[in-house]
Structure 1
């Protein structure tokens, strides 16, 4: 049976994160993940996780200024990027998170961006080793994030090949990668050894995964992923009203 993680960056956004964690438990999710939890005291989040028994799979580094979508591949912003990485690992360690997603930023084609990202990922990898946490990088599609530094799983794999750090892995979001070339099963299998987490949402709407061009009820079992798979979609109405899709996975 597929295990599912609720991405609380999109689900139950009308609730504070601790209450969203409790709602995810009540709905039958097996894990949770989040985006930017930093306004909520870590102790409150940790208590909700302990109360529900749900693991926190990961959180993101901060996005930076409006439209930047991350800091770690922005040349000249290394001090801010590393402060954001420090913050994410410190917070993640307090709540027992498994991974930190290091957001690259809107720097596609910018001179020096690749070097900045490599150096900041090496810094994050050191912290990952210290805390026993995984570092994730996520390629974002060119439609939603046209200037994002890396947009395909192939680009992300090339980044990791150059970096050479086992602490850093790819977040394979089926929504983004369907837009950026499709052929999800074969591309996933080709890069499986470098993947650290999987997410999904309907394509092209990014709504509940019971619509659109990908039959996730058939695809996800074929991935044979051992961990919980992240439901990172924007509900069409309330989160509860759209949870019927989960029945096909149970």
Structure 2
């Protein structure tokens, strides 16, 4: 059996004995039904992996001893900040999961004029917590040892106005530039993906005023979740560590 990878939010140290956090303990103890003596791989977001041995496992508690550590940097040289206008249902969850697998460093959920998601503060806070759990699970699955940041949701205009030294890109179906025509090298990208109905004319003009470059992915119109993953993949191929 493949050794399970588990995220632990507190710093890990070789020789220490710790209790796994509630969600991790439930997964190891109840779902995987692992027992004392079996091995786990832990990571704490510091680009280190830790070998650990289960010392106690039952339905309520899983205790492990950290045996050794190893430096394991799997991060792309390209720093990607995704600004994603929130999409309905499971589409947003899918975008977060897959973009993290593809190496995105920061994700900011956005509200725009045509955003189809309407949430009050309480429901939005629960969504953010849910998306953070998805980020953890994506890292456990894909082998990343540094945990990407899921930021609080904000308006499109506020996000575009934030200072950023990187290249700012906005996907647009009538743009004149493509990712292949962007000059090299590029180390940081702030990537804006609009809603299912697209950005308004006024919003597109605002992004241009804030220094965003319109780029085109191809001749076909893509769904918002497809657009995000296609753009991230193309950027990683040209400037990052794919291909």
Larger radius of gyration: 2
State TM-score, norm by structure 1. 0.28
Larger fraction in helix: 1
Larger fraction in strand: 2
